Amino acid sequence: MAKGMRVKLVYEVSQDPDTGVEVTRLTPPEVTCHRNYFYQKCFTHDGSKLLFAGEFDGNWNYYLLDIAAAEAVQLTEGNGDNTFGGFLSPDDKSLYYVKNERTLLEVNLETLVEREVYRVPADWVGYGTWVANSDCTKLVGIEISKDDWVPLNDWKIFHDFFHKGPNCRLLRVDLQTGESAVIHQEKNWLGHPIYRPFDDNTVAFCHEGPHDLVDARMWMVNEDGSNVRKVKEHAEGESCTHEFWVPNGSSLMYVSYLKGQQGRTIYSYNPDSGINEEVMQMPACSHLMSNFDGTLLVGDGSGTPVDVKDTSGYTIDNDPYLYAFDVAKKAYFRVARHDTSWATFANSRQVTHPHPSFTPDDSAILFSSDKDGKPALYIAKMPANPELIPA
């Protein structure tokens, strides 16, 4: 198959056995398909089309699904697509993604013509998820020295890579001219660069690695490279993970968990005041994402984290549910079972992760799961009258 080819999908609609909500599997369980990273734009503004990754021709490439027509058009071809980091532009006209850890490309969704925006220098490797500012005029990304780089295909390599102390740099790229500038560089594994929405001066990033070994996970820096600061000093036995900006830019939210405890805590950090505030307790969810204004959150129940060194100290029971959280009421409810395995699959640590997020109108939740075979995409409707559980 090649760019422009169309795939007709047959949806499978069922009722969740525990909550009764309608769950639609969009992609076939015999073909590996997954969504992009949970804070990257995947729906068009009106919610009618969905960006996803599929292995319909032997390569993991990007597709754009017309949800009503159940037909997807292939946007990219060949091997090497970073199918987690790509995103749709705010005007729904372009896809941006990185190919072969080397080239940042823009795909015109109307013509499918590709434009090379930026090329990673030969002695560096483009790593992870690259994230645009709100106007989509520039993005921030991470480059790792080629001398230090190894493909991070499993969790053992993940742990080993942390101890290497790789030379990493956080950079910004102009999406029109391709001009780049280094914002911050250190001999420390850097990841998750994210512009604060509607505030280009503020960039969040993380110190990556086993959560119980990093000095402090979450950091911020001004776009000009000044004022590097910690978001939170970790308490004894505390790990923090999966930070994200509330899409309206009001706060950075993240998950905190303590050694020997089953539950986790949702925190919110105000970058203007520098104050961390506990939002509520929650079940043992891994990823967390909010709607536009942060009034609703969604998380994916998980098991013992694999991204810590002391797994015995952080052992928890597996939780197979998607949860929604009502921030004002400080309460949560089960939406549906995701029942994913969380297994490393096809040399990917991420492809079986649910990575849930809301549809643009907050009426449903998009997630990935391998519960029916290979990883696939699902949409679960929000329950009409949920049974609230106090946090």
The whole-angstrom separation of Cα 198 and Cα 216 is 25
- Backbone phi and psi for residue 168, each to the nearest 5 degrees, phi listed first: -125, 150
DSSP 178-247: --EEEEEEEES-EEEEEEETTEEEEEEEEE-S-TTTSS-SEEEEETTS---EES-PPPTTEEEEEEEE-T
Superfamily of structural domain 80-357: YVTN repeat-like/Quinoprotein amine dehydrogenase (2.130.10.10)
Whether residue 284 contacts residue 262, with contact meaning beta carbons closer than 8 Å, is answered with: yes
The whole-angstrom separation of Cα 326 and Cα 323 is 10
Give residue 307's pLDDT.
41
Closest of 365, 347, 348, 364 to residue 356, by C-alpha: 365
Give residue 258's pLDDT.
86
The whole-angstrom separation of Cα 358 and Cα 31 is 24
Give residue 303's pLDDT.
62
Ordered by start, the domain boundaries in the chain are: 80-357
251 φψ region: left (φ > 0), alpha (ψ -120 to 50), beta (else):
beta
CA distance between the termini of the chain: 49
Q: What type of residue sits at position 166?
A: P
Give residue 195's pLDDT.
98
Local confidence pLDDT in tens for the 391 residues of the chain? 689 999 999 999 999 999 999 999 999 999 999 999 999 999 999 999 999 999 998 999 999 999 999 999 999 999 999 999 999 999 999 999 999 999 999 999 999 999 999 999 999 999 999 999 999 999 999 999 999 988 766 657 667 777 778 999 999 999 999 999 999 999 998 999 999 999 999 999 999 877 577 789 999 999 999 999 999 999 888 889 889 999 999 999 999 988 777 778 999 999 999 999 999 999 989 899 999 999 999 999 986 544 444 444 444 457 899 999 999 999 999 999 999 999 989 988 889 999 999 999 999 999 999 999 999 999 999 999 998 999 9
Give residue 306's pLDDT.
47
